[in-house]
Amino acid sequence: MVMALYSVPVLILKEGTQRTAGRDALRANIMAARALAEVLKTSLGPRGLDKMLVDSFGDITVTNDGATIVKEMEVQHPAAKLLVEVAKAQDAEVGDGTTSAVVFAGALLEKAEELLEQNIHPTTIIEGYTKAMKEAIRILEEIAIKVDPMDRGMMRKIVDTAIASKYIGKGAIGEKLANMAIDAALTVAEKRPDGTYNFKIDDVKIEKKKGGSTADTQLVYGIVLDKEVVHPGMPKRVENAKIALIDAPLEVEKPEITAKININSPDLIKSFLDEESKLLKEMVDKIAGTGANVVICQKGIDEVAQHFLAKKGILAVRRVKRSDMEKLEKATGGKIVSSIRDLKPEDLGYAELVEERRVGNDKMVFIEGCKNPKAVTILVRGANDMVLDEVERSLKDALNVLRNIMRVPKILPGGGAPEVELALRLREFAAKIGGKEQLAIEAFATALEEIPMILAETAGQDPLEVLMKLRQLHSEGKISAGIDVINGKVVEDMTKINVVEPLIVKTNIIKSATEAATTILKIDDIISATPLKKEEKEKGRGAGVGPGGKFGGF
């Protein structure tokens, strides 16, 4: 970039740096974001189609989950990356509605582009979009239906809607998975003093094991460890298990300083080894003395210690992940102990059964029959990795919507009903605002109608015809009128056909999509540094320079 100042050229940016400014920068960003939204459009709703993604290693992912698609796509354009972040944030916050968020953000940008061509300033559009977003959230709160979050029937409707778009969400398998997710949520949810429920998704462990069919997936009221019993002489089944959870190695500690031992007779070797065995035996005696008959260890277990544990008839598992140890603490009611010396009988957890079983080609340890398990495991089975991953994503979606309804026990009708209602009311709101902002609010309303139109399209209907019919029903005061995508028809009350979704998901979609669209509209200059050459990259790594040079590469 060269600026002529008093006829003297001034070089500001590094040679080779690219700069796009003004409307060109805006159009380039909008085009990139819309292109990403266009990819996701066909995946929306129960009739949405799947995408096959092949990464640089040749690994294949087949899914219609918005967050997974954008993560696996390896998007390069910086503006499109903003939409990827929207999908990730939506997934992290509410775990559902990722496709809708990206598609809606794309629609907002498409309508904004039309306004820009009418010479409306980006700031005016941003103001209008922000006002429309606030009003939309207020309307959603007003039309939401309050429900009992622990009503199993209501939970089932919400889960069915959430997993209807997944290919395993239909038929007997979908029914089984939905019931499993509900049982898991009801088991681990804890009531708060204010009457709401606290449900942490981390308390439901999803363990995948290839082999068998999806119908073999089971819910275990306890924890399943992808480990095997450490010693062949140990029992493989322990009933009425008293479980010691140890976060310390059952090994002789090595000195922190480097030490040498000079041995000049065979007796000294023997006494040295005997002393090691004695220390390990004392550790095992201490554990056995508390009444423990199962040991779950986060660190290693020495072979000699394994032998002593086997002689005492104690089942032991080693190198268990910290996250699994914490789940075991919740499930068995035990306490993780960092020093064997501190282990007391009251620190032990309880389970009716601890057993090593063969699952597929591997052995796994099942800890089940806990008295009040506040952590459970869903053991997913399937013919291949693609099926396993898709079942896991479906279960996570189901668990997320259950958590959402416990956090905010309010629902909305599905099938595009809230979007059409919002569009209708926002147009009335726009008329009161007036000025150029009115055009932005109307554009926001039109963008909202993109969702029901896509749903109609995936159901094989004429989108415009469906939209006109929905507008008519909503103008008659039928708030819950939407599209029954499965049967391809317009329904006057979506709640009657059990298509409902949590309020928190819808408000989050509107917030995150609007914020992404306004962020992109604020950008009027793109300055991208030249990618570093290979030699410079190597040099820069040593000096701590990032791969994008001075400005960070695009």
Structure tokens at 146: 């309050």
Q: Point out the catalytic residue in the list 63, 161, 397, 495.
A: 397
- Residue 71 parent element (H or E): helix 66-72
Task: Count Cβ atoms within 10 A of the Cβ of residue 339 and give its class: 0-12 exposed, 13-18 middle, 19 or more buried.
Answer: exposed
| Closest by Cα among 248, 325, 315 to 288 | 315
- Mean pLDDT, the chain, rounded, equals 84
337: domain CATH number is 3.50.7.10
> How high is the pLDDT of residue 23?
67
Residue 55 forms part of a structural domain = yes
pLDDT (tens digit per residue) in 150-208: 888 888 888 888 887 776 666 778 888 888 999 999 888 888 787 778 888 888 999 99
Mean pLDDT of 126-143: 93
Q: Point out the catalytic residue in the list 42, 98, 217, 377.
A: 98
> How high is the pLDDT of residue 197?
81
Q: Among 405, 421, 450, where does a domain finish?
A: 405
CB atoms within 10 A of CB 351: 28
Residue 183, CB-side half-sphere exposure with 13 Å CA sphere: 14
β-pairing, 237-246 vs 294-297, is parallel
> How high is the pLDDT of residue 15?
63
pLDDT at 257 over 80: no
Q: Is 123 a catalytic residue?
A: no
Residue 249 forms part of a structural domain = yes
> How high is the pLDDT of residue 545?
45
> What are φ and ψ of residue 146, in 5° steps?
-75, 140
Q: DSSP letter for 285, please.
A: H
**Hey, CA dihedral for 327, 330, 332, 335, is it positive or negative?**
positive
pLDDT (tens digit per residue) in 351-379: 999 999 988 888 999 998 888 888 899 99
Residue 355, CB-side half-sphere exposure with 13 Å CA sphere: 11
Q: Point out the catalytic residue in the list 99, 377, 458, 518.
A: 99
> How high is the pLDDT of residue 11?
64
CA distances from 141 to 126, 144, 402, 505, 506 (A): 23, 5, 19, 12, 10
pLDDT at 426 over 90: yes
CB atoms within 10 A of CB 282: 13
Residue 197 forms part of a structural domain = yes
8 A C-beta contact, residue 223 and residue 327: yes
pLDDT at 256 over 50: yes
Residue 183 forms part of a structural domain = yes
Q: Assess whether 461 and 424 both reside in one domain.
A: yes
Q: Is 530 a catalytic residue?
A: no
pLDDT at 389 over 90: no
Between CA 158 and CA 414 the distance in angstroms is 10
> How high is the pLDDT of residue 175?
85
Residue 6 forms part of a structural domain = no
Q: Assess whether 138 and 251 both reside in one domain.
A: no
Residue 541 forms part of a structural domain = no
pLDDT (tens digit per residue) in 53-107: 888 888 888 888 788 888 888 788 878 888 888 888 888 888 888 888 999 999 9
> How high is the pLDDT of residue 485?
86
Q: Assess whether 175 and 238 both reside in one domain.
A: no
Q: Assess whether 51 and 114 both reside in one domain.
A: yes
Q: Point out the catalytic residue in the list 65, 91, 324, 389.
A: 65
Determine the straight-line distance between the first and last CA of the chain, rounded to whole angstroms. 18
Say what the pTM is: 0.78
Residue 504 forms part of a structural domain = yes
pLDDT (tens digit per residue) in 531-540: 665 555 555 5
Q: Assess whether 75 and 155 both reside in one domain.
A: no
Q: Assess whether 520 and 398 both reside in one domain.
A: no
Q: Assess whether 227 and 366 both reside in one domain.
A: yes
Q: Assess whether 162 and 106 both reside in one domain.
A: no
Instruction: Quickly state the pLDDT bin for 383 (edges 50, 70, 90).
Output: confident
Q: Is 519 a catalytic residue?
A: no
Residue labelled with tokens 């089932």: 156
pLDDT (tens digit per residue) in 319-334: 999 999 999 998 898 9
Instruction: Quickly state the pLDDT bin for 546 (edges 50, 70, 90).
Output: very low
Residue 250 forms beta bridges with which residues? 301
379: domain CATH number is 3.30.260.10
CA distances from 241 to 117, 293, 297, 315, 321 (A): 72, 6, 15, 9, 20
8 A C-beta contact, residue 80 and residue 35: yes
pLDDT at 547 over 50: no
Q: Assess whether 194 and 109 both reside in one domain.
A: no
pLDDT at 541 over 70: no
Structure tokens at 129: 């979009």
Q: DSSP letter for 254, please.
A: P
Residue 433 forms part of a structural domain = yes
> How high is the pLDDT of residue 499?
86
55: domain CATH number is 1.10.560.10
pLDDT at 394 over 90: no
Total count of domains within the chain: 3
> How high is the pLDDT of residue 163?
82
Mean pLDDT of 378-401: 87
Give residue 431's region: left, alpha or beta (phi > 0; psi -120 to 50): alpha
Domain of residue 486, residue span: 17-146+413-529
Q: Assess whether 229 and 368 both reside in one domain.
A: yes
Q: Assess whether 368 and 227 both reside in one domain.
A: yes
Mean pLDDT of 475-494: 88
Q: Is 217 a catalytic residue?
A: no
pLDDT (tens digit per residue) in 433-480: 878 889 999 999 999 999 999 999 888 888 999 999 999 999 998 998
Q: Assess whether 235 and 191 both reside in one domain.
A: no
The residue that leads in pLDDT, 14 or 349, is 349
> How high is the pLDDT of residue 543?
47
Scanning 408-434, the segments in alpha helix (DSSP H) are 417-433
Q: 3-state SS of the chain: helix, strand, coil percent to 5?
A: 50, 20, 30
